[in-house]
Each structure stands twice: as structure tokens, then as C-alpha cells.
Amino acid sequence: MSEPGAPDAEAAFRAGQAELAAGRREAAEAHFREALAARPGHPQALLGLAGLLQLEERAAEALALCDAVLGADPGHAEAWLGRGDSLFNLDRYDEATQAYRRALVRGDLAFEALLRLGLAFAGAGRFELALEAFGAAVQLRPDSAEARVRRGLLRLQLHQFAPGWEDYERRWSWDRFLAASRGLVPQALVPALARSPTAEDLAGKRVLVVGEQGIGDQVLFASIVPDLARAARSVTLVCEARLVALFRSSFQGVTVLPPTAQVDSDAVDVVLAMASLGAALRPGLAAFAGAPYLTPAGPAVRRWAERLGPRTKRLRVGLSWRGGVAATRRRSRSVPLAELGPILDAPDCEFVSLQYGDPSAEVAAVNAGRMDPIRLFPPKSLDDFEDLAGLIANLDVVVSVQTAVAHLCGAIGRPCFTLVAHNPEWAFNPMGPTTPWHACVRLFRQPAPGAWEPVIAEVAAALRAQEPAAG
């Protein structure tokens, strides 16, 4: 029993759970630590805190907490699951698979363990085993949208497009996707979406396409809009406001609207989310042209030519070194600017920041002492993608991690050297130097998780060999 006036470990743990469910992480952490102060070995409080730390990108701390539980109870299946998550988030994929296998022994955790085992096998490059794990999860719960979507993304990454799109269409039945990633698709519109459309379903129809997921995804899937426009009677595209001007200047005959616009439902035959274009018009590798499909308007290109001024170096090089959010593995995808020294030291190059947000402090720290500082423009001047595309059109080449900038370069036909993590996002396939989506995007891959140094050296060498853009 607790001493009179002492904190109650169970009450504090339950309060931590409630705060975490409400998204109040700081308060949740305080309650979990209060529970542990009252009862240092409280296994659920240790695991609750570990789960919270995963969300905060503090995987090493989370690993220590899971190991504390396993030290007291080596058969604790939930702790093995948490250990696997920690190792996965530290890019230690082979070790993560071992932990997830230990969690499989408990029947009520088998489904979650199989899903995570699939992700870990994929991270380790063991794709057949990953597909087997996802397939076992589908067999265990045939109605699970998550299992189908996870398998679909891997199939798309491996260029198994037809079955991949079929699985991926189940995202509209997955609660987590609807809560976090449906983009501009209103919840009320989800039941009306066409699922797994064919090219015949769209031919001669009045089609409304609604942007989904992040802005990079909308740039990527916009590559299919010209094909749709040739087949359909009419196309209306609702996209992120920052893309409206660029899409309008690029897609003649397509009505491009911001999210706030009203659409006449009587003037529409088919409504679909943007990524569903893949199922209809990208059924196999042969359907990908990889050609540019966006064109920044002339005034935007000329404005940036004036702002940049006369060329003083052989190459003008754009830089984007940070991408994603915690949920899309920002830590693994991003490279600290200070580590790009060999690239920044490439001779006769002028560097321009394309990094979103406000990177001024990071750029200032790297520029200190440099004879040729990275050029930095106010963040608001790059918010609209018409302006961002206009700037990129004035560069010879871009160096970027896996982010929207890489997709935008491919979309406008500007060379991009993309630094790709060992466990890449699905559109950056796991093998080879190119992606079917963008012919001018060249992929430089980590040879092992976390190994950016050889990638940076390869990109620096490629810059030395790069020719200036024509014109």
C-alpha cells in the first residue's frame, strides 16, 4: 500500500494515458514519471513512457525503458514489441525483427507484431520476408485496412503496381489514415470516392480530383493529371493553395481550384482522391514516362533571375537537407547541414537554400567563415510553389533529401541529386539510381542505415562532373 499522502502509481499511470490520448505529451510524461517515482518498476508506466518517447523521436531513451521491463520479466511480449519499435526508429532493422519475433508468442499481439515485422524486414532490405509478414497479417485479419495498405506501399515500392494500387485503395477504410493523411478530402466526401477506378471508368467523364496527403504527394501524383485530361471529358482539380498557380500555368484545360472553392456536384460524374489516379493510369512500369509535367509561369522565372543576379560561378546549386515529420521518419531522412561540407566545398559552385521553414540559424552557423556563403531568401518567398519552381528553374542542379523539392525538380525537369536513406520512402524505390516517376532525379543511396558520409562524397563528385543547364 502507498503511504498516506503518497502519489498513487496506478492513478498517475491512468492520468498519463488520458493525457497522451488527448495529445498533451508534456503532461503525459509528467504523470508517467510520477507513477514511476511511486513505483519504480511499474511495467505499464515504463512502456507508456517509452511509447510517448517514440513520438518525441527519443528512441534511445525508449529502448532503455523497454529493456528495464525485460530485465524484470524476459517474457513480457509488450516490452518486446516496444523494444522492436525503439530499434526500428534507431534504424537497427535486423535487431528489430528479432524483437518483433519474440512478441509473436502472445496471440493478442500477433497482428501488431506481424505488421511491424513486415516494416522491419523491408527496412533491412529483406523484401520477400516483408511481403510474407504483411500477407500473414492480412490472413490473420482479412478486414484490416492497415495490413492491406502496408503491403500495398511495399508492393508499389517494388514496382508491383497493379496489386500495389489494389491494396493501397484500402487506405480510405483505415482510421489512422483518415485522421492524419486524407489531405483535402472532407470526411463527408469519403463515401463518394471512386475506389480502384479503371481507365474506362474515367474516359469521357467529368472528373473531380481532390488532393490528398502532403504537398509533395500532390506534386508527385499531378504527373498523372495530363493523362487524365486527355481521356476525360473535363477535369476539375482541388489542390493545396500553394500549388494552385503552378498547376494552373501547367495544366491547360484543367480547372484548378483551392480548397476553399465551391464545386458544383451536378457538374461531376466521378469523384476520386488524387492517388487513386495510379490505379487507373499507372498499372505497370511501362505506363511511366518520367517526363516533366509542370511549367512555372514566365514572370516567376524572370523575377528569380533578377533576384539571383548575374552568375558568378560555374554552377548554381539548390539545397534542401531536411524533410518529413516525425511520423514519416524525419530523423532518418534528413541530414544536418553542417555534415554537407564536402558538397559545399565543391569548386566553382554557388549554393542557394531551398529549405522550407526558417533555416536561418543553421545556415548562419555553416556560413560563418565560408568565403562563398549559402544564399538564403526569406521563407515566405518560397511558400508558393510557383515561386519555388521559378527559383529552381534558374538553378543548374538541386541537391535534396527525400522531400517535396525532389518531386518538384522532377516535375519541372530540373536535375536533382537526391540523398536517399537506406530505408527509403515508397516513391524512392529501394534499388537503382532512378525512379520511374522522374527521369531527371538521380538517387544516391545509403549503403547502410545512417551512413551519409559515402553518399555525400558521391554527390560532391557528381557536382564536380555536372554541366551547367542549357540556356
pLDDT (tens digit per residue) in 279-338: 999 999 999 999 999 999 999 999 999 999 999 999 999 999 998 666 666 778 899 999
Residues linked to residue 444 through DSSP beta bridges, in sequence order: 419
* CATH 3.40.50.2000 holds for 298-465: yes
In the chain, count H helices and then E strands: 23, 9
Domain ranges of the chain: 9-179, 180-287, 298-465
Report pLDDT digits (tens) over 199-246.
Answer: 999 999 999 999 999 999 999 999 999 999 999 999 999 999 999 999
Tell me the whole-structure pTM to 2 decimals. 0.92
pLDDT at 5: 41
What gap in Å lies between CA 83 and CA 98, rounded to an integer? 10
pLDDT at 438: 97
In sequence order, what are the residues at sequence separation of 6 or more whose Cβ sits closer than 8 angstroms to the Cβ of residue 302?
none
pLDDT at position 455 over 60: yes
pLDDT at 107: 87
pLDDT at position 340 over 80: yes
pLDDT at 471: 61
Tally of CB atoms within 10 A around 73: 12
CATH class of the region 180-287 = alpha beta
DSSP code at position 28: H
What gap in Å lies between CA 8 and CA 14, rounded to an integer? 10
Report pLDDT digits (tens) over 17-58.
Answer: 999 999 999 999 999 999 999 999 999 999 999 999 999 999
Average pLDDT rounded to a whole number, residues 178-194: 94
What gap in Å lies between CA 459 and CA 398, rounded to an integer? 11
In sequence order, what are the residues at sequence separation of 6 or more whose Cβ sits closer than 8 angstroms to the Cβ of residue 257?
236, 237, 238, 239, 244, 263
Q: Are strands 397-401 and 416-420 parallel, antiparallel or unpaired?
A: parallel
DSSP alpha helix (H) spans, 59-109: 59-72, 77-89, 93-103
pLDDT at 265: 85
In sequence order, what are the residues at sequence separation of 6 or more whose Cβ sits closer than 8 angstroms to the Cβ of residue 42?
9, 13, 35, 36
pLDDT at 328: 63
Average pLDDT rounded to a whole number, residues 361-374: 93
What gap in Å lies between CA 194 and CA 72, rounded to an integer? 52
Phi/psi-derived region of residue 234, left when phi > 0, alpha when psi is between -120 and 50, beta in every other case: beta
What gap in Å lies between CA 221 and CA 206, rounded to an integer? 19
What gap in Å lies between CA 266 and CA 289, rounded to an integer? 34
pLDDT at position 3 over 70: no
Residues linked to residue 273 through DSSP beta bridges, in sequence order: 210
Q: What is the CATH number of domain 9-179?
A: 1.25.40.10
SS3 76: coil
pLDDT at 156: 97
